[in-house]
Amino acid sequence: MAVEALVTPSGAERWNALAVRARRRRLLTDSLLVGFLVVVSLPIILPYFWMLTISVSAKTGGVESVVLWRACAVLVPAVVAFGLLRLFVEETRRLVLGALAIAAIAVAAVILLVGSDLHLQNYRFLWNPDIVAEIRGKATAEAQFPSVWIAFRNSLALAVTQTVLVLTVSTLAGYYLSRFQFPGRAGFLQGLLVLHAFPAMTLVIPIFLLMYWSGLLDTITGVILVIATLELPFSIFIMKGFFDAVPWDIEMSAMTDGASRRQAFFRVVLPQVRVGMLAVGVFAFIKGWEEYVFVRTLLFEKQNWVMSLYIFWVSEDIMGVDYGIVAAVAVFYILPSLLLYVFCQKFLVQMTLGGIKG
């Protein structure tokens, strides 16, 4: 009887009270959640924001934090306003309009507060190959500082080649591991996991010697082989998982429909794992793009510099570091991987959820 009294409200008033309470509670949990997420994401976002601010405002000879604080004074209210907008507005059209309004106000405020301090001088490394000579008024003792485009080209070659390599090998190996029985298969799979758990840094010296003896030291090819090899165990494992999720039926069906095993693989199985291939490809590209330890160890010639070495030498070579230029190079360095993430985000999220939607 007591339970019944609790559950049964006495009329419409009681229902309304319950509805109001539920609405209030939902609002409270939502705002707590959003608040929490904002707070924990601050330490991640702020450095990038600072980097961007420095790159467009700093002048040779020092960094002032005034611009940063002013920019933050615009950014923080804008973010808070956007959060509140999301919390209270549900209709898509009004949401977009609100977001646009907030963005317009923020841009206007930025121009008003710090507009006079903004300039693109720090990005001059893009068209002026020898920034060091320019800054120090004469060429450095050892030859010239290479153009950023050489480093960019090397980085791109490194990342793209290793992506192609990793994708090809991990797709074929993953398929074989998923579909075929062979002696030592279980050991091989365990080996993949163990290899992945193994810290690659411990291999720096042996790999250096290996490269030295095989004549691949100070070549991009050598670095590509090393990075691809280190990347492979994990990629193969991921691809095997994706192939495991493809039912045998469609493969058998393709073969009774007249396809050979190879045709069945390319026309029927491979299209089912394209999300996995995309994920593995993006990770491989970013690994190649951001690689530092092995390029630092294995490459010396200026003509072989990649972006990570370029940024290192920019901050190292210039007497009294020019933070403006370093930050600008960093922004330039980040852009490709950022674009890649933005375009592939949808698929990558699918992957982390662990499957292919049918």
Partner 1 sequence: MARIELRHITKRWGAVVAVADMNLVIEDGEFVAILGPSGCGKSTTLFMLAGIYMPTAGDLLFDGARVNEVEAKDRNVGIVFQSYALYPHMSVRRNIAFPLRFKGVPRHQAERMVEEAARMVRVEELLDRMPAQLSGGQQQRVALARALVKKPQLLLLDEPLSNLDAALRLTMRSEIKRLQRETGITTVLVTHDQIEATTMADRIVVMRSGRIEQIGTAEDLYRRPDSLFVASFIGAPPINLLAGEARGGALHIGEAQLALRGEARGPVFLGVRPEAVVLDSTGHPALVEDIEPMGRETLVLLSTPLGALRALVGGAAIPHRPGDRVAFSFPPEETLLFDRASERRLADVHAALASRG
CB atoms within 10 A of CB 212: 13
CA distance linking residue 301 with residue 304, whole number of Å: 5
Give residue for tokens 């004469």. Answer: 138
By beta-carbon proximity to partner 1, the closer residue of 75 and 273 is 273
Query: Is residue 338 near partner 1 by the rule CB under 8 A?
Result: no
Please check whether residue 34 is in contact with residue 86, taking contact to mean a CB–CB distance below 8 angstroms.
yes
Instruction: Compute the least distance from the CB of residue 267 to partner 1, in Å.
Output: 8
The region of 92-100, 169-177, 257-265, 347-355 touching partner 1 under the rule CB under 8 A is 257-265
Query: Is residue 120 near partner 1 by the rule CB under 8 A?
Result: no
H or E segment at 36? helix 12-57
Instruction: Compute the least distance from the CB of residue 273 to partner 1, in Å.
Output: 11
Task: Please give the full DSSP string across 144-182, using - where no structure is assigned.
Answer: -PPPHHHHHHHHHHHHHHHHHHHHHHHHHHHHHHHH---
Query: Is residue 263 near partner 1 by the rule CB under 8 A?
Result: yes
Please check whether residue 229 is in contact with residue 298, taking contact to mean a CB–CB distance below 8 angstroms.
no
In 3D space, the residue among 272, 313, 12, 290 whose CA is nearest the CA of residue 143 turns out to be 313
The one among 72, 99, 169, 250 contacting partner 1 by CB under 8 A: 250
By beta-carbon proximity to partner 1, the closer residue of 272 and 315 is 272
* Contact residues for 109 (Cβ-Cβ < 8 A; gap 6+): 74
In 3D space, the residue among 228, 230, 235 whose CA is nearest the CA of residue 173 turns out to be 235
Instruction: Compute the least distance from the CB of residue 249 to partner 1, in Å.
Output: 4
Query: Is residue 115 near partner 1 by the rule CB under 8 A?
Result: no
By beta-carbon proximity to partner 1, the closer residue of 121 and 253 is 253
Query: Is residue 244 near partner 1 by the rule CB under 8 A?
Result: no
By beta-carbon proximity to partner 1, the closer residue of 219 and 272 is 272
The region of 57-65, 100-108, 154-162, 267-275 touching partner 1 under the rule CB under 8 A is 267-275
Q: What single DSSP character describes residue 99?
A: H
Query: Is residue 355 near partner 1 by the rule CB under 8 A?
Result: no
The one among 35, 191, 271, 355 contacting partner 1 by CB under 8 A: 271
By beta-carbon proximity to partner 1, the closer residue of 257 and 316 is 257
Compute the Cα dihedral for 340, 341, 342, 343 and give only its sign: positive
Query: Is residue 249 near partner 1 by the rule CB under 8 A?
Result: yes
Please check whether residue 78 is in contact with residue 105, taking contact to mean a CB–CB distance below 8 angstroms.
yes
Query: Is residue 183 near partner 1 by the rule CB under 8 A?
Result: no
Query: Is residue 272 near partner 1 by the rule CB under 8 A?
Result: yes
Query: Is residue 245 near partner 1 by the rule CB under 8 A?
Result: no
Please check whether residue 147 is in contact with residue 314, taking contact to mean a CB–CB distance below 8 angstroms.
no
The region of 138-146, 172-180, 248-256, 340-348 touching partner 1 under the rule CB under 8 A is 248-256
Give residue for tokens 């960093």. Answer: 330
Q: Quick one: tokens of 180?
A: 């075929």
Q: Binding residues for partner 1, how many (CB under 8 A)?
A: 17
* Contact residues for 57 (Cβ-Cβ < 8 A; gap 6+): 64, 67, 114, 117, 118, 119, 324
Query: Is residue 186 near partner 1 by the rule CB under 8 A?
Result: no
Instruction: Compute the least distance from the CB of residue 357 to partner 1, in Å.
Output: 9
Chain contacts with partner 1 (rule: CB under 8 A): 247, 249-250, 252-260, 263, 268, 271-272, 358
